[in-house]
Chain A
Amino acid sequence: MSAATAKPGAAAAGKRIPPGEIHQSFLAYRGFRFLKWGIWLCLATILAYALHRPLTAPNGGTWLGYTLGTIGAALILWLMWFGMRKRSYGRIGRLQGWLSAHVYLGLALIVVATLHTGFEFGLNIHTLAYALMMAVIASGAFGMIVYAAVPEQMTRNRHGATVSDLMAKIAALDGDMRQAALGLDDRQAGLVLAAMNQVAIGGSAWRQLSGTRPNCATRLALRRITAADAVPEQRAQAQRVLGLLGERLEYLDVISRDLRYKALMDIWLYLHVPLSFALLAALTAHVVAVFFYF
């Protein structure tokens, strides 16, 4: 049990980590403490809503509506504070705990805010704030699922190697290929050269997210170069080049998959953060509007 296996935040905090918490997912933090908090919050909200009998149809303007609205707004501000909190390690509580609370209380917000609305929706800033909140939660939920599922697939894909290791292997292959392909005819040599020169790793957001490499020159070379086509004295060389290209393609595929996993783990945040700020503005407008035209 070494300190290296612990989360960096915890290590920086300099606290002793109780056994059993190492390798523990943020979802299961302290025996699902915040899941329980979230469930209690939802149950209390649902019970209050069920017992509430306002003079009008349920809406945000009843006493329960104001109460749930206040809880919801406070939760949103606190949840957004997580963005600040995660940048400053080693303060109030463990980051893992904050993340756990962020996830579960963020999900509980679905119930609190929906019952705050009393299921009254319209084409207005109020429903826009709700829709933005749901979009933020949905993107966060996507992130949560990805964080829970992808790292294992990522490790399995790379077999313990890093992208840097894989790139070094490709570079080594390229060096070999420069020699092995010298004897090929010009057409085939051109294909090999193109494969080596193509920027094949990463690229646009879509390229990284989809994990595809359209017009992959390595794949093209592998398809176009055939040992059988080569003149007899070149056959052995062509065969070797094909072997190298095949290996190159395999590494490229592994890297593409890895980048895809990494992109999946990152992309939701590109929605989560801007939508959160849009929500902050819409929420402010919502609260001001409600009290402005009281």
Chain B
Amino acid sequence: MRAELGYITRRERGAPARRTAEADAPVLHLGRGPGNEVGLPDLRVALIAAELSPDAGGMRLRATAPGDVRVNGKSTTNALVVSGDEIRIGPYKLTLDTPGAGYDAAIAIELVDPPGDDLARLRKTSRIGLERTRLGKRLPSWMLFLLLVVFGLAIPVGSFLGWGPQRADHAVPKPGWTRVADLSWTVGEISDAHKHFAADCGACHQRAFASVPDSACAACHTGLPGHAIGDAVRKAGLDNAGCGDCHTEHRGAQASILRDDRLCTDCHTGGDGRMAGSHLRAVTGFPDGHPPFRVTVVKDTTGPVLERVDLSGPTPPKNLATLKFPHDAHLKTGGVLSPKGLVKLDCASCHAPDAGRQGFMPTRFETDCGWCHTLKFDPKAPERTVPHGDPEAVHAYLRDAYARIALEGGDAEIAAGLPRLRVGQPVTEAERLELRAWVQQRVDAAVDLVFDPRRGCASCHIATRKGATVSIEPVIVLDSHLPKTRFDHGQHFTMGCGECHKAEQSTSSSDVLIPDLGTCVACHGAANATLKVPSDCTSCHGFHIHGTAPMTKIRQER
């Protein structure tokens, strides 16, 4: 078959150019390969894309490779084509014209979809630079900014101002989402004691842009004592002191008290005159700068009059004691002789810890002394003892005891020499007088024994006998010789009593068995000590002293 080929090229301007060629073969091959009768030189066309062969009524077009072959716009792989049909193979358009004389076919060939400018295409399809990706700066900036303004600022402020759901009762926490926003403002952990109302910021923070008022603290801490008495409050500048000067919050579970020594020493060094006229001594620190201990002792039992004495003065302090109690005699290593035999005593025999184990129960005759110091009054009646504490009661008891014996008899040894009373016969006046005389004689003998200045009451007490009566000096035992400090015995239980209290060497109850500062310093160091127990002023001393005007009152008095 012989075909007339016309290759049409269009320029931007001017008429299309036409280059003609001829093909002659039984079957015409169409494709980009050089061996094809009809060359379609574009990479997008298959090497041999299709073939044309004569057929009844026209030509047979058969696609020979996978690819886009269309006849009059319809995709096909095998079609009968006639003059006037339009064949598309890839980017080429082939139009079948009426063949001239001597030709079986006339095909006009045009590249209608040229590959175009490679550089322009490359530029168009490239995506260069992060600014052309989905990344952005403006939108994320706004989103993050607004998010934090809403959650970090608007909600907590709104929550304070009472926007949104609120509950009147402070004890009931607000709804979760406002709490989360509220908590985002917290600057640190709230102290354990205040955690139970920590969800309610407004319990303490009552006004915006204002510090927590003392009244917020005083709402719970009512009547908290102050620190000084009378004019000393103003002199020390404490009338301007608020809770927040020494107390803090949001600084951890245990940290609601500022324990820096400077909070105390700023006044107690005395240099600035704030302690002028005070009996207080200057303290600049601990252990250096702490004065020797001063103990409180009884100076006069009438009153009584107490006195503060230097523990480390030239002579040891003496406590005017009205009870004779030599510790050494009771703590003999060999033990002491008692009604129960030889008994070895120790501190705990008399000093029992109190319920909180911070201090000790008072020693009492009935529980601590009486089992050994029995108050017998008649060797012939060793089971009978006089009551302790009241000389009048002792008299009454003795009279009653002997009168009963006289009346009832029975105690043969004591009652020997008494007139025998006859059963069924009334007591005669003579017998009654005889019995009374006997009772009086026995009572007098017992009183002599009990009120003897060397035995009986006077072995422990200062007793003055006037005839048949005796007066006992009142016993004054101080709760503490160091009332200005706190000492927790329970915290020191690992130590032996004797490490601080030299009781075994004490021969008199007027000895003050309080250890000096050096004993404490052996273990306790300054607040920043690393190799001793760090101790600040508040380890031993409290600020709020009972008996002083309440803090809130001080503030109001200004």
Contact = CB atoms under 8 A, between A and B. Distances in A.
Given A192-B43, A281-B145, A126 B187 contact: yes
Nearest to B126: A201
Given A270-B137, A277-B145, A182 B128 contact: no
B60 interface: no
Interface string A190-227: 00110010010111110011000000000000000000
Given A122-B186, A126-B187, A281 B34 contact: no
Contact of A201 (B43, B47, B122, B153): B122
Interface stretch (B221-229, B257-265, B324-332, B380-388): B257-265
Given A124-B186, A292-B208, A273 B137 contact: yes
A92 to B, nearest CB: 24
B141 A56 contact: no
Most chain A CB neighbours (cut-off 10 Å) among B41, B134, B184, B201: B184
A55 interface: yes
B260 to A, nearest CB: 4
A178 interface: yes
B43 A275 contact: no
B211 A294 contact: yes
A111 interface: no
Interface residues of B, number: 66
B129 A57 contact: no
A262 B260 CA distance: 57
B144 A278 contact: yes
A185 interface: yes
Interface stretch (A19-27, A66-74, A101-109, A162-170): A162-170
A167 B126 contact: yes
B19 interface: no
Interface stretch (B113-121, B403-411, B459-467, B514-522): B113-121
A211 to B, nearest CB: 13
Nearest to B149: A281
B126 A202 contact: yes
B33 A208 contact: no
A125 B184 contact: yes
B251 A57 contact: yes
Q: How big is chain A's contact interface, by range?
A: 35 or more
Interface string A259-294: 100110011011001111110111011001111111
A168 B212 CA distance: 73
A128 interface: yes
Given A193-B44, A201-B128, A281-B144, A208 B186 contact: no
A281 B132 CA distance: 28
Interface string B258-284: 101011000000000000000000000
Contacts of B262: 55
Contact of B130 (A124, A267, A274): A267
Given A124-B184, A202-B129, A205-B130, A277 B142 contact: yes
Interface string B28-60: 000011100000011110110000000000000
Most chain B CB neighbours (cut-off 10 Å) among A199, A278, A284: A278
Given A55-B263, A185-B47, A192-B43, A273 B141 contact: yes
Contacts of A201: 122, 125-128
B122 A171 contact: yes
Nearest to A170: B122
B118 A269 contact: no
A270 B185 contact: no
Contacts of B260: 55-56
A193 B32 CA distance: 14
Contact of B152 (A125, A168, A203): A125
Contacts of A59: 187-188, 251
B247 to A, nearest CB: 11
Contact of A203 (B127, B187, B188): B127
A183 B33 CA distance: 5
Contacts of A56: 248, 251, 255, 258, 260
A293 B126 contact: no
A175 interface: yes
B47 A202 contact: no
B190 to A, nearest CB: 11
Nearest to B140: A274
A167 B119 contact: yes
A178 B115 contact: yes
A204 B133 contact: yes
B126 A199 contact: yes
Given A274-B140, A278-B145, A282-B152, A178 B126 contact: no
A266 B129 contact: yes
Nearest to A204: B133
Contacts of A199: 125-127
Contact of A128 (B44, B143, B152, B248): B152
A186 B65 contact: yes
B148 interface: yes
A209 B258 CA distance: 54
A136 B34 CA distance: 64
B153 A288 contact: yes
23 contacts: A56-B251, A122-B188, A124-B185, A128-B148, A167-B123, A171-B118, A172-B118, A192-B43, A201-B125, A201-B128, A204-B127, A204-B134, A208-B129, A208-B130, A263-B129, A270-B140, A274-B143, A277-B145, A280-B145, A281-B153, A289-B187, A292-B156, A294-B210
Interface of A: 55-57, 59-61, 120, 122-126, 128, 163, 167-168, 170-172, 174-175, 177-178, 181-186, 189, 192-193, 196, 199, 201-205, 208-209, 259, 262-263, 266-267, 269-270, 273-278, 280-282, 284-285, 288-294
Given A167-B123, A186-B65, 6 more contacts: A56-B258, A175-B118, A189-B43, A278-B141, A288-B153, A292-B156
Interface of B: 32-34, 41-44, 46-47, 65, 115, 117-119, 121-123, 125-137, 140-149, 152-153, 156-157, 160, 183-189, 201, 205, 208-212, 248, 251, 255, 258, 260, 262-263
